[in-house]
């Protein structure tokens, strides 16, 4: 058996594009990108969906709670599910919220830190390091009910992909630029619609299947 961990935020959770700040709709398992990817992986593969809405790379959220910090919880999750053959890491969108005041370079450095934690955790087979697939989220759009929250985020997120790719290359990880395949929904500027989930799931699934052999 092979085990894949998908570690991400609301778009890994499957949050549907929001019509209002209090919306909580979630796509079903077969509609989320993870569901589409799962169908392309080797038959003996278990894919663990670990998507938390609002999750950042390394930041305690002063509004939504410190538990949104992706760095703080990562070691426990790696230990809970080891041995892991592959970790798919897709974070960075929530770092673009105006409240964090970070640069694209800051987000890339935060992704670098997460990868270092994954590599050092002895969470792979035989206490080694799992393979890593770093997925750069598509750029956000400043529109809809989340426009104010992500003010200034469109330009910053549009600059992230080449920086994230450099981080992946430095660690010998694989890289996928989600923005080359999909765009966020104009309804809220952050989340994926069902069609985008399907497209991204196929792209990630094909790449992950090749990595697993």
pLDDT of residue 23: 83
pLDDT above 90 as % of the chain: 97
The SS3 assignment for 49 reads strand
Q: What is the phi-psi region of residue 128: left when phi exceeds 0, alpha when psi lies from -120 to 50, beta otherwise?
A: beta
**Position 152 confidence tier, pLDDT thresholds 50, 70, 90:** very high
The CATH number for 2-212, chosen from 3.40.50.150, 3.40.50.1110, 3.40.30.10, 3.10.180.10, is: 3.40.50.1110
- pLDDT tens for 37-95 read 999 999 999 999 999 999 999 999 999 999 999 999 999 999 999 999 999 999 999 99
pLDDT attached to residue 53: 97
14 sits in the region (left: phi over 0; alpha: psi -120 to 50; else beta) called left
Burial of 110 per CB tally in 10 Å (0-12, 13-18, 19+): buried
Dihedral pair phi/psi, residue 211, rounded to 5°: -70, -35
The pLDDT of residue 86 is: 98
């Amino acid at each position: 058996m092979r085990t894949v961990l998908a570690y991400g935020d609301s778009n890994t959770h499957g949050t549907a594009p929001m019509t209002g700040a209090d919306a909580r709709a979630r796509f079903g398992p077969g509609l989320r990108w993870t569901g589409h990817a799962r169908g392309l992986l080797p038959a003996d593969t278990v894919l663990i969906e670990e998507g938390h809405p609002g999750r950042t790379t390394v930041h305690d959220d002063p509004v939504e709670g410190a538990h949104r910090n992706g760095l703080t919880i990562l070691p426990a999750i790696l230990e809970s599910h080891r041995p892991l053959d592959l970790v798919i890491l897709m974070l960075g969108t929530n770092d673009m919220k105006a409240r964090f005041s970070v640069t694209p370079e800051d987000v890339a450095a935060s992704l670098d830190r997460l990868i270092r934690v994954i590599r050092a955790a002895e969470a792979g087979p035989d206490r080694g390091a799992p393979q890593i697939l770093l997925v750069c989220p598509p750029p956000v759009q400043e529109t809809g009910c989340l426009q104010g929250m992500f003010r200034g985020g469109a330009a910053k997120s549009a600059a992230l992909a080449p920086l994230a790719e450099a981080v992946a290359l430095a660690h010998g990880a694989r890289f996928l630029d989600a923005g080359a395949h999909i765009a966020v929904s104009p309804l809220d500027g952050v989340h994926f619609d069902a069609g985008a989930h399907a497209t991204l799931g196929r792209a990630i699934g094909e790449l992950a299947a090749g990595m697993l052999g």
